[in-house]
Amino acid sequence: SQTIHQWPATLVQPVGSPLSLECTVEGTSNPNLYWYRQAAGRGLQLLFYSVGIGQISSEVPQNLSASRPQDRQFILSSKKLLLSDSGFYLCAWNPGQVTYEQYFGPGTRLTVT
């Protein structure tokens, strides 16, 4: 069966520090991968998605970036965090075929102080 992992689970970082969040999927190959952000009490905002290694689409211009160095690994990064980057970051995957549902990881709670 397929599983999705995210780490770290929680993170507290000062303004201006770098960020690296990691997401890995097991039990599937060539998945579509997605990064979402959820601000407190708000809905989901799609940040990036990838349909293959090295293929990244950005949905919202900001100080975040994403990379996909391996087929089942998706990384969210920032060189300098802003207070507004605080939130709950969710990674999701999809088989990338005729089925459209996405499966979500447990999330990373990021607090920028």
Partner 1 sequence: GDSVTQMEGPVTLSEEAFLTINCTYTATGYPSLFWYVQYPGEGLQLLLKATKADDKGSNKGFEATYRKETTSFHLEKGSVQVSDSAVYFCALSSSYTDKLIFGTGTRLQVFP
d(CA 55, CA 66): 10
Is the separation of the CB atoms in 101 and 2 below 8 Å? no
Q: Which residues within the stretch 86-105 sit at the binding site for partner 1 (CB under 8 A)? A: 90, 92, 94, 96, 100-105
Among 46, 62, 65, 73, binds partner 1 (CB under 8 A): 46
- Beta strand 73-78 with 19-26: parallel, antiparallel or unpaired? antiparallel
Does 74 sit near partner 1 (CB under 8 A)? Answer: no
Identify which of residues 17 and 57 has a Cβ nearer to partner 1 in the complex.
57
Identify which of residues 64 and 90 has a Cβ nearer to partner 1 in the complex.
90
Which among 26, 42, 47 has a CA at the least distance from the CA of 103? 26
- Beta strand 64-70 with 87-94: parallel, antiparallel or unpaired? unpaired
Identify which of residues 14 and 101 has a Cβ nearer to partner 1 in the complex.
101
Identify which of residues 78 and 102 has a Cβ nearer to partner 1 in the complex.
102
CB of 13 to partner 1, least distance (A): 19
What's the order of all strands across the beta sheet hosting 19-26? 3-7, 19-26, 73-78, 64-70
Residues in contact with partner 1 by CB under 8 A are 32, 34, 42-44, 46, 49, 51, 90, 92, 94, 96, 100-107, 109
